[in-house]
Chain A
Amino acid sequence: MTAGQLPRWVDYGLMPALNVAAAFLVSGLVVLLIGENPVEAVKVLVWGSLGRNEGIGFTLFYATNFIFTGLAVAIAFHAGLFNIGGEGQAYLGGLGVALACLALDRYVPWWVTLPFAVLGAAAFGAAWAFIPAILQAKRGSHVVITTIMFNFIAASLMVYLLVNLLSKRGSMQPETRTFESGGRLPLLQDVLPGTDFGSAPVNFSFLLALAACLLVWIVVWRTRLGYEIRTFGANPVAAVYAGISPLRITVVTMLMSGGLAGMMAINEIMGSQHRLLIEFVSGYGFVGIAVALMGRAHPVGIVFAAVLFGMLYQGGAELAFEMPTITRDMIVVIQGLVILFAGALEHMFRPALLRIFGVLAARPAPAA
């Protein structure tokens, strides 16, 4: 039983840190490969994302998206499910937000619209996750493949809706009309006195994202439902023994996951774009996978990981300006490397660490 075990701090601290370090080390090598200085690049990146108020504002704006999509992936992880459909669920969530805003923005202030927008985002996102969930629970079709398919179906559906039904009359642009003030969230600097983020679009949804973190934490670790989710994810046989229904947990968890992914649209649509437009999700749903893996599926870790990826997105833009050879595609590379090292290769360092700590542990043994 004791063989093959590492101290807790190694398992939960050192090994994830090593994995992320490896990802960034390889990223540095990529920068070297295209003939730039990685140290300089990091300096530009950090300055660009944290050096000025506006940079911080953009960092937090992006982080808001990633918190939502990261939580979506994470809560599914807890039930042993892999939801790759965050992209499509967020896209549909945008539809829910837009419908609420278009219906109400001319008549009521934003804080009246907001609950309806949140409901719309969560409901549409959840609905898009429901079919894959029920198909896995009832018919055994794997949720990974079906959610991928649903991403593409969502893309086609939204193009159709935007082109044919939702676009402004007389316009060729596949987007809705711009919302009036009742469909726009206030900027964070207008809500929190004393803050100034320049022209950055970080808005009220950032607070919503933090609230979602707290909510997810409560649900997962403080409710009976969360207990059932974690039990099912960790040991499905024990879950059945304990009288937990696999069908119910699969569906409920996927609904929450899809709802959280859909909430991302609040930030983009109601907080920044103020209209529903084509491809506004632009890969943020997928970033959630990296964020959840890096944050070890815990809300606190997810906030940190989301801010880090926010820095990459904002600092990356700055970097592309200062060092034109390092385009924003660098972020996608880093994202891929984080998923690879923190996800697929998460146990790569385990044998080496076991040997090291095995030797350390064995040393005092003869005396004992």
Chain B
Amino acid sequence: MSDQLAIELVGVDKRFGQVHANKDIHLKVRKGSIHGIVGENGAGKSTLMSILYGFYHADSGEIRVDGKPVSIPSSQAAIALGIGMVHQHFMLVENFTVLENVILGAEGGALLAGGVSRARAELKRLAADYDLKVDPDALIEDLPVGLQQRVEILKALFRSADILILDEPTGVLTPAEADHLFRILRVLRDEGKTVLLITHKLREIMAVTDEVSVMRRGEIVATRQTSKTSMGELAELMVGRRVLLEVEKGPPQPGRPVLTVENLTVRDTRGVDVVRNVSLEVRAGEIVGIAGVSGNGQSELLEAIAGIRAVTSGIVTVDGTRVDLARAGTDPAAMRGLGLAHVPEDRHRMGLVTRFPECENAILGYHRDPTYGRGPFLDFDRIRNAAKTEIEKYDIRPADCMLKTANFSGGNQQKIVLAREIERDPVILLVGQPTRGVDIGAIEFIHKRIVALRDAGKGVLLVSVELDEIRALADRVLVMFDGQVVGERAPETAESELGLLMAGASGQEAAE
């Protein structure tokens, strides 16, 4: 590691409309080092890297590469400056060969023949130098993801990148593949390349980086030498000391089980088991929180229980009725019929039809309910009246049930969903990220509602990446990591211990 800087960012700032994605970023990355950037989802890491790679343009601030101020208006400019990027979602053409993917954009002439043979030789050399062996004539779609990622790295090296940015590179890798990747990264560093590793996994930061910067809510809050910090410190920096969320609630009075999940496994389209053999139980009158860094299977777990996502195996019992999810297939309406309500994580994508007026969203999923009309017809007077009642009860603003849903603020949109699901008087409520993108006032309101539901003797299964929220609301905390429930703790457990469990440390490591 030298004192020369490969990259220096001075006061880089970026907004998307109302969202302040990057605030006054100052960052120094030493030449020939592996520099980690760690932070939760939505902390602004990807945006920052996209600015470095010319995908977005910063609103203000300066970028220096090798000490010289530069402007990076396009990916082409970034490549010319020796910056290469391995995207979280691979930018590969699946029905192309490895070789074709590598030379795309760097063909070396109007005809392919010359470039291809040169590239073949170059790939051979790179494979030898960096231990990056891939069959150049294999089709990408036939390769496992680990090898696909290797192709992405080769693409960058083929363009003689000196600075390599990797965005969440281990998200799709098995532990063994991840270890191999880290070996490659170390070789690259030893050959004088600079590596920027973006991740939310603390263990990886500790394992492979020389220095680490922590991002939180669009800002860089700290930079440390990896050898002089600990997972505990980083976890705290990452989560931050937020405004303490005080939720008034008495002790729980758990009753009969209202939701039981047995051996639930979900395989995604890539063939990866994203939920692995999860079993859990929620009793009437308690809130069970699932803590975890996002992307560890919580979202899929909720969707599977709600009957939206197909499972490989798993039995769910709602209020005494057993459903073999693998055999029954996806049928969210049937699950609703059993008394299960679901506030999905992503209200824009799933929970709302933003093009509809508010009152039409107030019946989404319950539009077959006889209270909303006779026979095949919908009675809009009743729908509007019901919506108005909910608007009043949940203080949804503006109080206009005919307004297009897209025109409500995030907090009010969330209240629309919450009102819809809670007012159905469910036995069990699944709720994902209830306060993501929601203002402080609405957060308090939403939390009170959830606790009130519990006190009314209902079960609540809460998924949130906000540890504070879990600690404030839940009566029991389950921690999920890599598709599995890795531990159960009381909500009073130290934040650092929970943070370590979330980061994939074993229970013993965490307790120490």
Contacts and interface: CB of A to CB of B under 8 A. Distances in A.
A230 B354 CA distance: 12
Interface string A255-293: 000000000000000000000000000000000000000
Contact of A241 (B308, B334, B367, B368): B308
Contacts of B407: 1, 5
B367 A242 contact: yes
A3 B368 contact: no
A1 B356 contact: no
A308 interface: no
Nearest to A228: B367
B410 to A, nearest CB: 8
Contacts of B342: 241
Interface in B394-429: 406-407, 409-410
Contacts of B333: 242-243
A160 B350 CA distance: 49
B332 A241 contact: yes
Interface stretch (B109-117, B248-256, B282-290, B372-380): B372-380
B459 interface: no
A224 interface: yes
28 contacts: A1-B407, A222-B377, A222-B378, A223-B376, A224-B368, A225-B376, A227-B360, A227-B378, A228-B367, A230-B353, A231-B353, A231-B356, A231-B364, A234-B356, A235-B355, A238-B352, A238-B353, A240-B308, A241-B306, A241-B342, A241-B344, A241-B350, A242-B332, A242-B367, A243-B331, A243-B332, A243-B333, A243-B368
A198 to B, nearest CB: 42
Contacts of A223: 376-378
A35 B377 CA distance: 56
A303 B445 CA distance: 47
A216 to B, nearest CB: 14
Nearest to A240: B308
Contacts of A243: 307, 331-334, 336, 365, 368
A222 B332 CA distance: 23
Interface of B: 17-18, 306-308, 330-334, 336, 342, 344, 349-356, 360, 363-365, 367-368, 372-373, 376-378, 380, 406-407, 409-410
Contacts of A230: 353, 356
Given A3-B17, A241-B306, A243-B334, 12 more contacts: A1-B407, A1-B410, A3-B18, A222-B378, A222-B380, A226-B378, A227-B378, A231-B364, A234-B355, A240-B332, A241-B308, A243-B365
A241 B303 CA distance: 9
Given A3-B18, A224-B376, A243-B365, A238 B409 contact: no
A21 B407 CA distance: 29
Contacts of A4: 17
A79 B307 CA distance: 23
Interface in A91-119: none
A218 to B, nearest CB: 8
A171 interface: no
A237 interface: yes
B308 A227 contact: no
Contacts of A226: 378
A163 to B, nearest CB: 43
Contacts of B352: 235, 238
Nearest to A241: B350
Contacts of B356: 230-231, 234
Contacts of B373: 224
A240 B306 CA distance: 11
Nearest to A3: B17
Contacts of B355: 234-235
B332 A237 contact: no
Contact of B409 (A1, A5, A225): A1
B378 A238 contact: no
A269 to B, nearest CB: 31
A2 B18 contact: yes
Contacts of B360: 227
Instruction: Give the one of B334, B349, B352, B377 with max A CB within 10 A.
Output: B377
A54 to B, nearest CB: 41
Closest 9 CB pairs of A and B: A243-B333, A242-B365, A3-B17, A243-B332, A235-B353, A241-B350, A234-B355, A234-B353, A242-B364
A230 B378 CA distance: 14
B406 A224 contact: no
A241 B351 contact: yes
A237 B18 contact: no
Interface in A1-34: 1-5
A156 to B, nearest CB: 35
Nearest to B406: A1
Contacts of B18: 1-3
A271 B344 CA distance: 53
Contact of A238 (B350, B376, B377): B350
Contacts of B372: 224
Contacts of B349: 235, 237-238
A240 to B, nearest CB: 6
B99 to A, nearest CB: 31
Contacts of A242: 332-333, 364-365, 367
Contacts of A225: 376
Contacts of B17: 1-4
Contact of A237 (B336, B350, B363, B365): B350
B380 A238 contact: no
Interface in A195-246: 222-228, 230-231, 234-235, 237-238, 240-243
A225 B297 CA distance: 34
A224 B365 contact: no
A242 B406 CA distance: 18
Contacts of A228: 367
Contacts of B350: 237-238, 241
Nearest to B376: A223
Contacts of A235: 349, 352-355
A242 B17 CA distance: 30
A211 B49 CA distance: 58
A227 B440 CA distance: 34
B131 to A, nearest CB: 41
Instruction: Give the one of B17, B333, B364 with max A CB within 10 A.
Output: B364
